Structure 1
Amino acid sequence: MNMQTLPVVALTLGDPAGIGAELIARLLAKPEATAVANIVLIGDRWLWKDGQRIAGVPVATEEVSTLAEVRGRASTARPAFLAVQSVDPALVQRGQAAAPGGRAVLQVLDQCMDATLAGEVDAICFAPLNKQAMKMGGMQHEDELHHFATHLGVTGYFCEFNTLGELWTSRISSHVPLKDVAGYLSVERIEQAAELIYRSLLANGVSQPKVAIAAFNPHGGDGGSCGREEVEIIQPAVQRLQARSWPTEAPFHGPFPADTIFLKAQAGDYQAIVTMYHDQGQIAIKLMGFSRGVTVQGGLPIPITTPAHGTAYDIAGQGRASVEATWQAFQIASRMGAVRLRAAAITT
């Protein structure tokens, strides 16, 4: 891609008490980062300086006064930097969740989303945040994905995707008690989740996505003797998916028992797995590659990604945080942002 076709990707520094700023410094120290995106970093000046100091990597940036300036820059060889004042450093204690940090995260993310809707930014990649701090700081939702959906006016189905390399996963229920999971299962939700991850893989450049649907009960329900959800809900959903017309051949299969489904993906048979609840997929993904996992916010009108790990308060400020998951999240945001940018060019 040349300069004119590079997607504008907004980066944020995440929770100021965590490892976000040092991760972004390491990310932007990679010379290949500016080759795939026109990068704009949004954050507090003091926090950005602190992140570079902790990481031990000074990063040259080009300051801008508005996000609207970024797309028309003469050169994208340096990341753009938009300085904001979202949190007083005196109110931040490293390694501690607190309301000022949570408010700062919400302020910057909302600014990025507004810029994306205005056509100034094509994708967002945010450094790790802390849900408790965000709730203390005023977030009214169970997690950031629901905050994003409300802010963006989403009325359709949305869910988190967790990715590891070429494997993507989604889930029918997320941050709910395990005792309530069965009540979330429905033919419609499974169908929506499967279609969403399939189309998101297409948007990420996968030409022939294959999606496996997980069972809910042990042994896939053993024909109904160990639970009826497979017979009454999951298999009918798969059949409805298979009966529809898709851009690629036979993309949906299952249900497969949860204790073997990831072996099929590891063998390369599937690029995506739809799981029925949070830990059914998260345990496998994190065992397969915790330091490389990425969360993609699925079902939103704009691409938003983040490393799948948290703020790592226990090592914040020590310069030990691995940048690999952040690098993977940034690359996905860049690819999806490029697709969005090309689609916008076609329609204008």
Structure 2
Amino acid sequence: MKNRQKPLAITMGDPSGIGPEIVVASLSKSSDGLKNIVFGCPKVMERAVKLSQSDLVVRVLDQIDEAEFSPGVIEVLQTSCFDTLPPFGSVNAVCGKAAYDAIVQSIRHAVAGRVSGIVTAPIHKEALSAAGISYPGHTEILADLGGAERVAMLLGNDEVRTVLVTVHCSLSEAIKRGDYAAQIAAIRLAHEGAIALGFKNPRVAVAGLNPHAGEGGLFGREEIEIISPAIKAAQKEGINVSGPWPGDTVFMQARKGQFDIVVAQYHDQGLIPVKYMGLEKGVNITLGLPFVRTSPDHGTAFDIAGQGIADSASLETAIKYANQLVRSKMKDTA
């Protein structure tokens, strides 16, 4: 299986953040023979190697098929090149553009089937905006350029997993976007995502939008008019889904083992419970794409960038999950 598996694309992230150094730290550890290609600026990655005091050597690629995957070497497909390396810890339009270019190239190679999946290091949304890039984050870039009709964010660790109905938007906008189509799409993607993670008949719980899941309509009617009909429709499709459950207790029940995955209505409802258990344990998976994509569940950490103290555990987890999902996908299509 490993011999058939094409390399993973790992984007460098924002050059002013911790992305490059945690990429180096992750690749410095045993990869069990797995193949990875970093998409980004070779000079940025060389600085990260020096910062990490790693013995790895950066090898620059013009094409993916030039990769040799020799021990002790980081293969870097050049998607940008800095004349002067940017400072650590600050929002920089040039860094936003470089991070974006790495993502775009990784998507193109994934769509073409030249890489088995994508693992993205953290980017900074303000840097993207400063570069004139209108996307609010990775998920939207991947959905648009990856050709996906609808995607969902799955964030999880070994104890709790959640899929979001809405992602990067204001709370008022999330309420508008959480219509019937968004609800049933998130339920389906949660079901499919949990199966890919190894759950044979996943128990999907759907969180309510309002306090106490609306309390029978006293605190809002979204549960009655939108969420419940979507749950019933998904049940008719054979999905083992229940709810809507109160958002303040559903994650506790999932952690106790009552549910395998929770559909959350908006960004913070789903991400706070997962991140509270530790950023180093979490992974972000984008569902609905024609290729595998994972990432760590933390940001660029400008406050510690360049100090050589960033923890690479979450990125290592993202790489592990990406390989697991790729193998699952290969098995299904064999």
Shorter chain as denominator, the TM-score bin is over 0.9
Q: Which residue in the other structure is 2:150 paired with?
A: 157
Alignment pair present for 1:283 and 2:283? no
Q: Which residue in the other structure is 1:335 paired with?
A: 324
**C-alpha contact 1:38 1:76 (8 A) present in aligned 2:** no
Q: Shift in Å at residue 316 of structure 1?
A: 0.3
Runs (5+) with no aligned partner, structure 2: none
Q: Shift in Å at residue 196 of structure 1?
A: 0.8
Paired AA for residue 316 in structure 2: W
Q: Which residue in the other structure is 1:121 paired with?
A: 115
Q: Specify the SS of the correspondent of 2:36.
A: strand
Q: Shift in Å at residue 324 of structure 1?
A: 1.0
Distance 1:42 1:181 in 2: 33
Q: Which residue in the other structure is 2:131 paired with?
A: 137
Distance 1:176 1:225, change over 3 A: same
Alignment pair present for 1:52 and 2:49? yes
Distance 1:43 1:175, change over 3 A: closer
Paired AA for residue 5 in structure 2: L
Q: Shift in Å at residue 290 of structure 1?
A: 2.3
Alignment pair present for 1:181 and 2:180? no
Q: Which residue in the other structure is 2:209 paired with?
A: 216
Instruction: Choose from 181, 185, 189 the match for 1:196.
Output: 189
Matches within 5 A, 1:3-42: 4-31=3-30, 33-35=31-33, 37-42=34-39
Q: Specify the SS of the correspondent of 1:316.
A: coil
**C-alpha contact 2:42 2:60 (8 A) present in aligned 1:** no
Distance 1:169 1:89 in 2: 42
Alignment pair present for 1:108 and 2:97? no
Q: Shift in Å at residue 284 of structure 1?
A: 1.1
Distance 2:198 2:292 in 1: 14
Distance 1:341 1:121 in 2: 13
Alignment pair present for 1:265 and 2:254? yes
Alignment pair present for 1:43 and 2:22? no
Distance 1:136 1:63 in 2: 28
Q: Which residue in the other structure is 1:307 paired with?
A: 296
Q: CA RMSD in A?
A: 2.1
Instruction: Choose from 88, 91, 95 the match for 1:97.
Output: 91
Paired AA for residue 118 in structure 2: I
**C-alpha contact 1:205 1:335 (8 A) present in aligned 2:** no
Paired AA for residue 13 in structure 2: G
Instruction: Choose from 306, 318, 334 the match for 2:307.
Output: 318
Distance 1:7 1:61 in 2: 20
Q: Shift in Å at residue 192 of structure 1?
A: 0.5
Q: Shift in Å at residue 159 of structure 1?
A: 2.1
Q: Specify the SS of the correspondent of 2:143.
A: helix
Larger CA deviation: 12-21 vs 172-181: 172-181
Runs (5+) with no aligned partner, structure 1: none
Q: Shift in Å at residue 211 of structure 1?
A: 1.1
Alignment pair present for 1:68 and 2:47? no
Distance 1:9 1:79 in 2: 15
Q: Which residue in the other structure is 1:239 paired with?
A: 232
Distance 1:85 1:153, change over 3 A: closer
Deviations 1:3-56 (A, max 9, x none): x1334211121110011111011101111x243x32122232221121122222
Deviations 1:89-110 (A, max 9, x none): 5251211111111111111111
Q: Specify the SS of the correspondent of 1:205.
A: coil
Q: Which residue in the other structure is 1:82 paired with?
A: 76
Paired AA for residue 112 in structure 1: S
Paired AA for residue 333 in structure 1: A
**C-alpha contact 2:209 2:265 (8 A) present in aligned 1:** yes
